[in-house]
């Protein structure tokens, strides 16, 4: 298996075993402790490191307990993997000051991850259609 295929497999496992199950302690198997997130839309405490990743997904899962992240396709080049997919869920908890609406949403998501030589995610960039999600929930 090539390094790129291994990295794509690692990212898929992060989605399947951590994000979609809510088993956030398993993130330790896939993300370096100091991994920064380069999303300017997130509060600083959610962008600093692996604990920030867990903090974000605790908050997201509290608002959308049935959340599901699906990958349509991945592209790997060098030490980076790009995943393009969808995020969906039902708004049953407060989110960014918005009270639970009970409404479902489905939007597009892009994750770009830089991997270490050992196959751990060392850096993240992401695009999430937050505006589209908020329109569906209002």
The total number of residues shown for the chain amounts to 138
Task: Identify whether the C-beta of residue 49 lies closer than 8 Å to the C-beta of residue 120.
Answer: no
pTM: 0.93
Question: What percent of the chain is modeled with pLDDT above 70?
Answer: 100
DSSP states along 5-50: HHHHHHHHHIIIIIITT--GGGGGGTB-TT--B--TTS-GGGTSSH
Beta strands 80-90 and 121-128 are unpaired
CATH number of the domain residue 106 falls in: 3.10.450.50
How does pLDDT run across 114-130, given as a tens digit for each residue?
Answer: 999 999 999 999 999 99
How does pLDDT run across 35-79, given as a tens digit for each residue?
Answer: 999 988 888 999 999 999 999 999 999 999 999 999 999 999 999
Average pLDDT of span 82-103:
96
* Enclosing domain of residue 38: 3-137
Number of domains into which the chain is organized: 1
CA angle 62, 67, 72 (to 5 degrees): 150
């Amino acid at each position: 298996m090539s390094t790129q295929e291994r990295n794509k497999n690692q990212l898929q496992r992060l989605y399947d075993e951590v994000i979609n199950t809510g088993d956030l302690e398993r993130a330790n198997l896939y993300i370096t402790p100091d991994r920064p997130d380069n999303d300017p839309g997130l509060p600083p405490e959610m962008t600093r490191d692996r604990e920030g990743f867990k903090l974000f997904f605790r908050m997201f899962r509290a608002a959308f307990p049935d959340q599901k992240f699906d990958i349509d396709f991945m592209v790997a080049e060098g030490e980076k993997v790009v995943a393009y997919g969808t995020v969906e869920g039902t708004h049953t908890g407060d989110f960014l000051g918005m009270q639970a609406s009970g409404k479902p949403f489905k939007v597009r998501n892009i994750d770009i991850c830089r991997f270490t030589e050992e196959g751990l995610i060392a850096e993240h960039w992401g695009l999430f259609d937050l505006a589209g999600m908020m329109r569906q929930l209002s």
